[in-house]
Structure formats: C-alpha cells, structure tokens
Amino acid sequence: MTKSALQIARAAYQPKLPKALKGAVKVEEGAPTQSVADQEAIKALFPNTYGMPLIKFVEGGAMDYPAINVGVILSGGQAPGGHNVISGLFDGIKALNKKSRLFGFILGPGGLVDHNYKELTADIIDEYRNTGGFDIIGSGRTKLEKEDQFEKGLEIIKELGINALVIIGGDDSNTNACVLAEYYAAKKCGVQVIGCPKTIDGDLKNEMIETSFGFDTACKVYSEVIGNIQRDCNSSRKYWHFIKLMGRSASHIALECALQTQPNICIVSEEVEANNMSLDDVVTYIAQAVANRAAQGNNFGTVLIPEGLIEFIPAMKKLIAELNDLLAANKEFAMIKKSAQREWVISKLSEENAAIYASLPEGVARQLTLDRDPHGNVQVSLIETEKLLSDMVAVKLAQWKEEGKYVGKFAAQHHFFGYEGRCAAPSNYDADYCYALGYTASMLIANGKTGYMSSVRNTTAPAEEWIAGGVPITMMMNMERRHGEMKPVIQKALVKLDGAPFKAFAAKRDEWALETAYVYPGPIQYFGPTEVCDQPTKTLALEQSK
Ligand code: FBP
C-alpha cells in the first residue's frame, strides 16, 4: 500500500496520556448519580445500571490483572480519531496483561449480531495509529435494541470468551450500549459494556463529557475550506456562498466554524427556534444583510447554515413530527407511486401542516419524506437547505429591487461540507483525546465497570493534567418520542443561547455581517509550534474559560 509522506511521519506520533494513566491506577468513586430528567421512568427501565457513582482514575494500585478478551464496535457516522480510540484500548488491555486480546466487529453493531469479526493484532493496530477513518473494521448504523440481537451477540461473545464490549458511537449508539449493559447485567452474563463519545456533531456532551471526539478535527477541516472560499469571494467579489454544514439537529459545527472564520452570516438553529422565527423571517434576515453590503458596493459574502435548520423552524418542526408519526404508522408509503406521494401526504396531514407542506418547493417536500435513519431521525443531510434559502433570498431581493430598496447584484454558489471532514487525519487534540478515551475504557473494564461511558476531562489544559474516569450512561438519559413511542435516550446537547460560545458570536455578528472581517485558518498543522498545532476548538476554550 502506498502511503503519503504525512501518513508515514504521523504513524510515529505517540499520543499523550493523562498522568494518572501512565502507570497503575486506582478508582476514586464519586457520589451516586441520577438521570438528567424522567428519573423514575429511567430508574425503572435500568434497575441494574441506574444510580452508579462517577468514577475517576488516580495514580496507584497494582498492574496485576488477569488477561481479558474485549470486543470493539464502531457505530454510526465516521469521526476523526476512531482508530486512536481502538489503539488506546489495545495498548491499555495489553498493559494490563500481555495475553489480553481485542476483537473488532465488522461494519458496526450488525457485525456482533451476524458474528462478523476479526482479531485486531499488533500489526493491524500499528497500520492505523493516528489515521482518520473507521476502515480498520468499518462502521454501520444497525440499531442494537432487540432481545434476539442481544442473544445472537451473546453467542459470539461466549464463543470468543469476550469479557467486555466497547461501543464507540454517538448519543443513539451509546443509548443502545446502555440498554445492552442493562440486559447483560440483568441476565448475569458476565459481559461488561462500555461506551465512548464519538460524533463530529459535538452534541454528545455534558458536565462530564467535555466534547465528543472528531468535532475538533472536522470543524478545523471545514473552517480551512470556508476560509479558502472567503478568500476567493473577497478576491472576485461576485458571489454569495451558501454553505451548509453537517451536524444533524445541533448547530455546534456551524457556530464553531463561524468563530474560526468570521463569516458574514451564520444561522444558529437553536436561536431560530427560541425566537419562533418562520422560514420567511430567516430569509428576510439574510436578504437584509445582503442588501446592506450591496449598499456599500459589496455584492459578495458567506452564509453558514446548520444542516438541521429546517427542523428548528417551529412550524416545520410540527410538520416533521407529524410526518414522523405518519410514516412510522404507514409503512406502505414507500410502495405508493412517487408522483402520487405528495397528494397522499397532503390528504393525511392535519389542515395546518398540510398547508405548510403544500407550500414547500417540491424537492424539499420530497426530501422531508425520505426514509428515516434506523434511529428514527430525518436525514437532514439530504435536505438542500442551502439552495432553498438562496432561492428564497433571490426572490425577496428581486422584489426589493422593484420597490427600490435594493441596488445590488446577487449571484449564489452552494456548498455542503460534511463528508470532507469526517475521516480527516485527527488533529493532535483528537489524536490524544481519542487515545486517552480508549485507554480509559480499558481501565473501566479492568475495574469491573459496565454501563459507563469513558470520560476524559480538563482537556484545554496540557494532556498531563487531563482527568480520566467514567460516567454512568443512565445519568445522561431522558425520555423522548422516537418512531411514535416514548423511549429512554441520551439527551442531545444543543447550542445553549446563554453559553459562552454563542454569546461570543452574538457580540460580533453584526460587525461581521457588514464588514469583510474574514479569518483564514488554513489547514490543520500536525508538527510545529504548539499555538498552531495543539489548540482546542474555540467552543471548548470559551466553555472552559467560564
Ligand atoms: P453520527 O451521529 O452517527 O456521528 O452522525 C454524524 C453525521 O455526519 C451527521 O452530521 C450527518 O447528518 C449524518 O452523520 C450523515 O449520515 P450518513 O453518514 O449515514 O450519510
């Protein structure tokens, strides 16, 4: 296999570990925990894994552990650093006992159910250290939720003598990890389940989980490209660029990229919802900024749009909620001829939602009825919000021109950044953070824990001072409606409008809208001065500087 010069140099990088993990560790237990909401309901559903204490690892103890066999699963969308979680886990279980073994289940949770696995040996691990992607074993979105899946999994777990499973995933996959932990604990199967917080979306975070891995690298990649586009549009001065950014419901990626690049406009879905804005309000806001710049002779600019925006416009949110229930209850929808689907949907929706649905451009309306993902989420990455908004802005500007309120030229370019950043070589931050998360998972296993998520905190400080431990997954849960039913799920962390990152953005955005205040972050640097190579995201830095 031919390797790039960077790949070769990067293979030699030794990720940093918190001081406490460098030798033998001791467990320090905190107070018992409870779920963030719906305590009674969650406790009843997780009698064996509810209320466990927070865990912190400190130096001390003995390194005398029996050999263990561990299974690892990568679940959901790719995020930079996954390979380092696995190499940290591998090194951790080997440090505990050289005879320990690691098995990777192929293509996500489905690999466990289908008994599709491979042993991850030292040679394989060494090929993937500090690389992006999930290709070491592949990933998938199969939802592990049914008893027969758990039982099929148990067969291969027993066959391979696996003591513990590590599930590397986002909020939905870690919810499933917890359900599985509870199931195996209730049946006294002797199988531990540990989760690791993955997702570029940045929406799996709380007091104990500072950030999900991959967010740092992905945002840096998108910011590099946004910066390049800004320099291009500031050079030719003829286009408005509408840039949609991945991130599902939450706007963390868009907000972080805005803090890094200072675009003219960044829409934050959570604010749109809080201010009860309609689609027309959002369009008017953008069009006004375009008109204000045009009045100064600047017919160019950048607009960042979070991919989940459409779900946060209150009227659209109601429509999507009704569509979710409608489609879940009418599986035959997929069999209806494409040309008849629109009419069918309109005939079934409530009057209010039918009117909104009918008013949408045909393409966007169709995109709202596409298959949900296995977790019941609308696949927002498939909805072309960037085009919808720029078309509507063009119409509004044309109208203002007629009324003599606008005197510019408006030409738009569209971009969608998501896949470009999900498999990038992890930044130093993600390389270190992921390795530490994997290593911590091995210590949770060695100490007999199950139903915990690996946690590494204080990550804006030097890695030596990072705090490693575990958080009971039930602590992060609440009840939410999914596929038409109430289910226990990890609460999604959306952008907080009273949080430091949003406030920092809000304080500057009017200036950025009018001026050309672009910042050009350039590509991720892996070698060089620490202020260039080792900076965390602005989101994390602002959140930690409270
Ligand atoms: P996860 O929650 O699985 O980490 O998803 C990340 C993500 O990249 C989202 O930002 C995006 O909406 C989605 O995956 C796209 O899914 P797919 O890879 O199936 O196209």
Q: What is the DSSP code string of 434-479?
A: HHHHHHHHHHHHHTT--SEEEEEE-TTS-GGG-EEEEEEGGGGEEE
pLDDT for the residue numbered 203: 97
Average pLDDT over residues 250-268: 98
Mean pLDDT over residues 424-447, rounded? 98
**Backbone phi, psi, residue 303, to 5°:** -130, 120
Residues 196 and 320 in one domain: no
Q: Is the pLDDT of residue 389 over 90?
A: yes
Query: Measured in angstroms, how far is the CA atom of residue 376 from the centroid of ligand 1?
Result: 13
Does the pLDDT of residue 233 top 90, yes or no? Answer: yes
Q: For residue 377, which atom of ligand 1 is closest to its CA?
A: 12
Nearest-Å Rg of the Cα atoms of the chain is 24
- Give the residue among 121, 169, 176 at the shortest CA–CA distance from 146: 176
pLDDT greater than 80 at residue 180: yes
pLDDT of residue 63: 75
What residue owns the CA closest to ligand 1's atom 19? 77
Asked whether residue 475 is assigned to any structural domain, the reply reads: no
Q: How far apart are CA 390 and CA 243, in angstroms?
A: 10
Q: What confidence score (pLDDT) does residue 367 get?
A: 85
Ligand 1 pocket test, candidate residues 201, 269, 417, most atoms within 8 A of CB: 201
The whole-chain average pLDDT of the chain stands at 94
Residue 24 Cα, ligand 1 centroid: separation in angstroms?
37
Whether residue 436 sits in one domain with residue 402: no
**Residue 308 CA: which ligand 1 atom is closest?**
12
**Atom 10 of ligand 1: nearest residue by CA position:** 247
Asked if pLDDT for residue 372 goes beyond 80, the answer is no
CA atoms within 13 A on the CB side of 363: 8
**Position in ligand 1 atom list of the atom nearest CA 381:** 12
Output the pLDDT for position 484: 76
Which residue, judged by its Cα, is nearest atom 1 of ligand 1?
Answer: 77
pLDDT band at 360 (very low <50, low <70, confident <90, very high): confident
Average pLDDT over residues 28-39: 95
The alpha carbon torsion through 403, 408, 411, 412 (nearest 10 deg) reads: -80
The count of structural domains within the chain is: 2
Burial 512-533 (b: 16+ CB within 10 A, else e): bbbebebebbeebebeeeeeee
387 and 258 within one domain: yes
Residue nearest atom 14 in ligand 1 by C-alpha distance:
77
- Beta-carbon contacts of residue 385 (< 8 Å; ≥ 6 apart): 244, 305, 307, 309, 310
| Residue 412, strand partner residues | 240
Please indicate, yes or no, whether residues 412 and 274 belong to a single structural domain of this protein: yes
- pLDDT tens per residue across span 83-133: 999 999 999 999 999 999 999 999 999 999 999 999 999 999 999 999 999
Residue 101 Cα to ligand 1 middle (Å): 30
Ligand 1 centroid to residue 504 C-alpha, Å: 27
Q: What CATH code is carried by the domain that includes residue 344?
A: 3.40.50.460
Q: Is residue 37 part of a domain?
A: no
In a domain, 22, yes or no: no
Please state the pTM of the whole predicted model. Answer: 0.94
Confidence label for 277 from pLDDT (cuts 50, 70 and 90): very high
The average pLDDT across 405-412 equals 96
Where residue 227 falls among pLDDT bands split at 50, 70, 90?
very high
My answer on whether 374 and 511 are in the same domain is yes
Establish if 23 belongs to a structural domain. Answer: no
Instruction: Output the six-digit token pair for 136.
Output: 């070491």
Q: Please check the confidence at residue 440 and state whether its pLDDT lies above 80.
A: yes
Angstrom distance (rounded) from CA 487 to CA 474: 13
In a domain, 240, yes or no: yes
pLDDT attached to residue 127: 95
Please report, rounded to a whole number, the percentage of residues in the chain having pLDDT higher than 70.
Answer: 99
Q: Look-up: residue for tokens 């531990």?
A: 192
User: Ligand 1 centroid vs 76 CA: distance in angstroms?
Assistant: 7
In angstroms, rounded to a whole number, what is the distance separating the alpha carbons of residues 246 and 237?
A: 26
Residues 395-409 as b or e (16 or more Cβ within 10 Å = b): ebbeebbeeeebebe
* pLDDT at residue 190 tops 70: yes
Is the pLDDT reported for residue 378 higher than 80?
no
User: Do 459 and 512 belong to one domain?
Assistant: no
pLDDT at position 185: 97
- Tell me which residue has its CA closest to atom 6 in ligand 1: 77
Token pair, residue 417, equals 């950044």
- Is residue 486 in a domain? no
Ligand 1 centroid vs 173 CA: distance in angstroms? Answer: 12
- Structural domain boundaries, residue 129: 62-214+426-467
Is 201 part of the annotated catalytic residue set? yes
Q: Which residues of 156-195 are buried (b: 16+ CB within 10 A; e: fewer)?
A: bbeebebbbbbbbbbbbbbbbbbbbbbbbbeeeeebbbbb
pLDDT digits (tens, 9 = 90+) for 321-344: 899 889 888 888 888 898 899 999
pLDDT band at 546 (very low <50, low <70, confident <90, very high): low
CA of 374 to the centre of ligand 1 (A): 12
* 220 lies in some domain: no
Question: Any idea how long the chain is?
Answer: 546
The tally of CA atoms less than 13 A away on the side-chain side of residue 192 is 22
Ligand 1 pocket, mutate which of 168, 246, 417 (most atoms under 8 A from CB): 246
Question: Whole-angstrom Cα distance, residue 75 to residue 169?
Answer: 5
**Per-residue tokens: 489:** 């799920």
What percent of the chain has a predicted confidence (pLDDT) above 90? 84
131 and 176 within one domain: yes
Is residue 285 scored above 80 in pLDDT?
A: yes
From 134, 245, 248, give the residue whose CB has the most ligand 1 atoms within 8 Å, as the site to mutate: 248
Assigned domain for 24 exists:
no
Which of 189-193, 376-380, 430-434, 446-450 comes out lowest in average pLDDT? 376-380
Same domain for 122 and 167, yes or no, is yes
pLDDT of residue 194: 98
> Both ends of the chain: CA-CA distance in Å?
47
Q: Are residues 513 and 374 in the same domain?
A: yes
CA–CA separation, 494 and 271 (whole Å)? 10
The yes-or-no verdict on residue 375 having pLDDT over 70 is no
Single out the catalytic residue among 91, 172, 201, 203: 201
Report the nearest-CA residue for atom 12 of ligand 1: 248
User: Atom 13, ligand 1: which residue's CA is nearest?
Assistant: 77
Å from CA of 119 to ligand 1 middle: 27
Residues with C-beta less than 6 Å from any ligand 1 atom? 76-77, 79, 170, 199-201, 246-248, 307, 380-381, 418, 422
| Atom 5 (ligand 1) nearest CA | 77
Nearest CA residue ID for atom 7, ligand 1: 77
Atom of ligand 1 nearest to the CA of 246: 10
124 and 270 within one domain: no
Domain holding 444: CATH number? 3.40.50.450
Residues 377 and 249 in one domain: yes
Distance 150 CA to ligand 1 centre (A): 24
Q: State mean pLDDT over 422-446.
A: 98
- Asked if residue 381 has pLDDT above 90, the reply is no
Q: Are residues 270 and 350 in the same domain?
A: yes
Ligand 1 atom nearest to CA at 171: 2
pLDDT tens across 447-490, in order?
999 999 999 999 999 999 999 999 999 999 999 988 778 999 99
Give the nearest ligand 1 atom to 380 CA. Answer: 12
DSSP H or E stretch at residue 303: strand 301-306
| Dihedral (CA of 130, 132, 138, 143) sign | positive
Closest atom, ligand 1, to C-alpha of 212? 4
Q: How far apart are CA 237 and CA 249, in angstroms?
A: 32
Across the range 508-521, mean pLDDT stands at: 98
